[in-house]
Structure formats: structure tokens, C-alpha cells
Amino acid sequence: MEPTTTTPQRPTFLTVLCILSFLAGIWGVYGGIQSSFTDKPQRDLEEARIEMEEAMDQMGEASGMVANMMESAIALAEKSAENAKPLGYVALATSLLSLLGVWLMWNLRRMGFGIYVVASLLGLLVPFAFLGFDLMTFIGLGVGGFITVLFIILYAVNLKHMH
């Protein structure tokens, strides 16, 4: 009788995490390409300026805090547009690296977790070098940061299934 080898089964939860991460990684690659190789960031900035001016006109005499926040948001959008190419290259590189890590975890390879963590943290922290460390940057990157940390924790919980 021949010995049988069983390949470990990927848990459903890990499968769902990987699929969500594949989708996010593909979206990141798409966004990185748009930022790096098109003028979309500049068009988006013009649209944001128009919308912000309309909102400020509708508010009339806005409180100082709201007006300051709106001006800070425009300043952040301007910095983002000015640095669109390098930010796009970073997004492209970190998304591809993240996809590699997810692919390895999909195949139950523990090394993928380390690659994913490095890519995720770089993708989260490097934009601060281009956009600065002000409140609006923290707010702008905050939601993505929360999701990034959440996924790292959820993958860490699944490390026991990887070899």
C-alpha cells in the first residue's frame, strides 16, 4: 500500500481574506497605473476645487474651523496631485508586492504574511513622506490604515494554517 500525502486545506476565512486582498491589490495596481501614467490626478484636483468652492459658497459665512478644514483638504489634494507620479509608483510597487504575499498565503506559505505586512506598511507610511504629517493627511490615510491593520491582524490569526 502506498503512503498517501494530504495537502492541507485552506480555511474558508483565509480564502475570503485572500480574495478580498486580491481585489484590493488589483485596485491598487489600477490606481497606481492611473496616477503614474495619466493626468487623472490633475483632473480630480480641478473637480475637487470646483466642488469645494461651490460648497463654501453655499455655506456662506462658514465657521472658521470648517473653512480651515476645507482649505486643508484642498492643500492635501494639491500635494497629492503634485506628487501623483511618485505616489503612483509607490502604490504600484506595494500593490504588486502585496499581491505576491497574498498569493503565497493563498498557497498556505507563511512567508507571504511577512511580504504582505511589509508591502502594507510601506503603502501606508511612504505617502507621508510626500504629503507631510499634518492632520488632514492622517485623516485621509486613516481609513486605509485601519483596514490595513485589521487585515494584518486577521492574517496573523490564520498563520497557524500556513507552513
Amino acid at 73: A
Residue 23 resides in a domain: yes
* pLDDT for 85: 95
* pLDDT for 21: 98
What's the grid cell of residue 93?
Answer: 510597487
Between 67 and 82, the more confident residue is 82
> What does the DSSP 8-state code read for residue 133?
S
Residue 49 resides in a domain: yes
Among 70, 161, 84, which Cα is nearest to 127's?
A: 84
* pLDDT for 60: 64
Check whether 13 has a pLDDT greater than 70: yes
Residue 154 resides in a domain: yes
* pLDDT for 19: 98
Check whether 155 has a pLDDT greater than 60: yes
Looking at 43-52, 58-67, 93-102, which range is the least confident one? 58-67
pLDDT digits (tens, 9 = 90+) for 23-34: 999 999 999 999
Residue 32 resides in a domain: yes
* pLDDT for 71: 81
Query: Residue 120 CB: number of other CB atoms within 10 A?
Result: 24
Domain count, the chain: 1
pLDDT digits (tens, 9 = 90+) for 123-153: 999 999 999 988 888 888 888 999 999 999 9
* pLDDT for 112: 98
Residue 3 resides in a domain: no
Residue 38 resides in a domain: yes
| Residue 52, domain extent | 12-161
Query: pLDDT-derived band of residue 110, with 50, 70 and 90 as boundaries?
Result: very high
Residue 106 resides in a domain: yes
Residue 29 resides in a domain: yes
Helix/strand/coil for 28: helix
